[in-house]
Amino acid sequence: MTGIWHPDAWIVPAPEWKSGYGTLTTRDWRGAILHSMEGPMTVALGILQSVAPLSWHFSVPKYGESFYQHYPIYKATWHGGGLGANRRFFGIEHEGVAGEPLTEHQIDCDVAILTWALENDVLPWPGFTRQDTLYEHNEMTRFGSSPTACPSGRIPWEEVIDMSMLFERMLARLAAVETGNCWQQGAIDQYKRDIEQLKTGHAWQQGALNDHEKRIKELEPGV
């Protein structure tokens, strides 16, 4: 674990007392639970700051330029329905209600959070795998939580996972290029193809993509 706050998140701290279970204050496993807020962002943020025994790590609005983080990723917060889930996984809440698919912005934010968590969670992730590192709230019954419909079919898992894998490959190739790997040109070419695929799918983190393009051009032979 190298970071506890996502570098692109808007940090909006929530009450410290709304985390942990006695002496158990930190998570001891890796992975994320994706939720539906079942309401607007303003109401969810109000609940987060209230005395209600509910808390989570990330809040993702329908639109905007980023997302919110409320607790360090290692904190055991109260979002999964019980100790068994909360000690294992961090929580991502999505603005909206049942019947509303995630917006493009929300999918992009999930990709940003999950690719960062791959290396920054309390334990490294083996990959983006459903019911291993990626869960829905309704799947927490196996860890002792009560049944729920959340997130009510709102998560387009195939798209989220494909985009996360694509972006992770892109970052890995960029890292190889920057270290002067012998297959530099091949990495550059594949990096460019991945960039184009990302652009045609989503407009996620345009500033980050522009920065990556600038860095890759600086590394191209003869430039």
Domains of the chain and CATH, by start? 10-155 (3.40.80.10), 160-219 (no CATH)
Which among 157, 152, 169, 107 is positioned nearest to 131, based on CA atoms? 157
72-123: per-residue pLDDT in tens? 999 999 999 999 999 999 999 999 999 999 999 999 999 999 999 999 999 9
Place of tokens 């698919």: 101
Least confident of 45-49, 156-160, 214-218: 214-218
Question: pLDDT band at residue 192, thresholds of 50, 70 and 90?
Answer: low
What average pLDDT does range 21-28 have in this prediction?
97
Quote the pTM value.
0.83
Q: 144: which DSSP letter?
A: T
**Structure-model confidence comparison of residues 100 and 180, the more confident one:** 100
What local confidence, expressed as pLDDT, does residue 170 receive?
81
**Structure-model confidence comparison of residues 43 and 216, the more confident one:** 43
**Structure-model confidence comparison of residues 139 and 2, the more confident one:** 139
What local confidence, expressed as pLDDT, does residue 77 receive?
99
Mean of the per-residue pLDDT values of the chain: 88
Q: Is 173 helix (H, G, I), strand (E, B) or coil?
A: helix
What local confidence, expressed as pLDDT, does residue 122 receive?
96
Cα gap 183→174, rounded to integer Å = 11
Q: Hey, how many other C-beta atoms are within 10 angstroms of the C-beta on 32?
A: 23
pLDDT above 90 coverage of the chain, percent: 73
Question: pLDDT band at residue 175, thresholds of 50, 70 and 90?
Answer: confident
Cα gap 118→112, rounded to integer Å = 10
